[in-house]
Amino acid sequence: MSTQIEQQETESESEQEAESAVESPGDRRRAEKQQRLDEQKQAEREESTLDDEETIRLKVFRYDPEVEGKQEPRFDDFLVPFHKGMTILDALIYARDQYDSSLTFRHSCRQAVCGSDALFVNGRQRLGCKTQIAELETPVRIEPLPHQEVVKDLVVDMEHFYDQMEAVEPYFDADELPEDELEEQRQSRENREKVKMSTRCIWCGACMSSCNIAAGDNEYLGPAAINKAYRFAMDEREGPDRKQERLRIIEQEHGVWRCQTQFSCTEVCPKDIPLTEHIQELKREAVKNNLKFW
């Protein structure tokens, strides 16, 4: 008898728990209201924290030819919390992730070796991942590279730049190869030091964008391509015949002789390559190559 009573009491308690587990419409409304209040308080706390922090203002170029209403170029302002060591790329990523996911720019390695995030920052060509915001005047004005067609926002069309680089045949091509395929093609220390700086080019296009000659002459090879030609023309392992061929490429009408020695390419190179010096040395090589003694 007592067992039956206990079983009935257990069943009654289970029914009461099930009834209490069923949420009424009023409970749902109160829960939703409380959730909205919590979210509003969180947003206020985040805004207050942002106000308390040191911030930096970005003025970012915007343009999207495929979206109506964004086809007219403009600048958008973004307020970004600043921290020690912050780069232009860091700030752009924050602006994209926190404010506008449609903000478009190129980036990859974040270590100044891929060359994908070259930008025009405060009137100068720079790498976004290498440029410290602390070293810049504010507001920071960020634009795509000049003298190149803008695809969207900060992204430019690099096809012409790559065509110019390919025009100088940027690959090692020796006159003769060792008989033994496992034998090394040795290079002297002195020759390696001579071409070392030219090998640092990361194909970012900053030098080409800064060059006034390239801006006015679409066929000009440009400093990056000529530097790449220098790298191989001065490599002792290729041989004299291949060097002659390379000199013929770079001494054409739109080659080294179009350079007016303005040093703008050298000034903006993020890898500190003496581009103007390399161009002048190739000019000297071209002159010597054409000298005839009878």
Q: Work out the angle between the directed axes of helices 223-233 and 275-290 (0-180°, nearest 10).
A: 60
Instruction: Say if residue 137 is in the same domain as residue 167.
Output: no
> Alpha carbon 170 to chain centroid distance?
22
Instruction: Say if residue 144 is in the same domain as residue 201.
Output: no
pLDDT at 222 over 80: yes
Domain assignment of residue 271, yes or no: yes
Domain assignment of residue 106, yes or no: yes
Instruction: Say if residue 269 is in the same domain as residue 170.
Output: yes
Instruction: Count structural domains, the chain.
Output: 2
Domain assignment of residue 44, yes or no: no
Would you state the pLDDT for residue 41? 72
pTM of the predicted protein model: 0.77
Domain assignment of residue 199, yes or no: yes
Provide the residue range defining the domain that includes 286.
Answer: 159-175+187-290
Instruction: Please answer whether residues 61 and 72 qualify as being in contact, where contact means their C-beta atoms are separated by less than 8 angstroms.
Output: no
Instruction: Say if residue 145 is in the same domain as residue 255.
Output: no
**37 C-beta neighbours (distance < 10 Å), count:** 10
Instruction: Say if residue 76 is in the same domain as residue 120.
Output: yes
Domain assignment of residue 180, yes or no: no
Instruction: Please answer whether residues 211 and 265 qualify as being in contact, where contact means their C-beta atoms are separated by less than 8 angstroms.
Output: yes
Per-residue pLDDT reduced to its tens digit, 265-294: 999 999 999 999 999 999 999 998 877 655
Residue % of the chain over a pLDDT of 90: 71
Domain assignment of residue 3, yes or no: no
CA 123, CA 140: separation in Å to the nearest integer?
10
Q: Given pLDDT bands bounded at 50, 70 and 90, which one contains residue 175?
A: confident
Instruction: Say if residue 221 is in the same domain as residue 142.
Output: no
Would you state the pLDDT for residue 273? 97
Torsion of CA 39, 40, 41, 43, to 10 degrees: 90
Instruction: Please answer whether residues 56 and 82 qualify as being in contact, where contact means their C-beta atoms are separated by less than 8 angstroms.
Output: yes
Domain assignment of residue 232, yes or no: yes
Would you state the pLDDT for residue 246? 93
Task: Return the CATH number at 285.
Answer: 1.10.1060.10
Residues sharing a CB contact under 8 Å with residue 159, sequence separation 6 or more, in sequence order: none
Q: Given pLDDT bands bounded at 50, 70 and 90, which one contains residue 7?
A: low
Q: Given pLDDT bands bounded at 50, 70 and 90, which one contains residue 46?
A: low
pLDDT at 255 over 90: yes
Per-residue pLDDT reduced to its tens digit, 77-119: 999 999 999 999 999 999 999 999 999 999 999 999 999 999 9
Would you state the pLDDT for residue 1? 47
Average pLDDT, the chain: 88
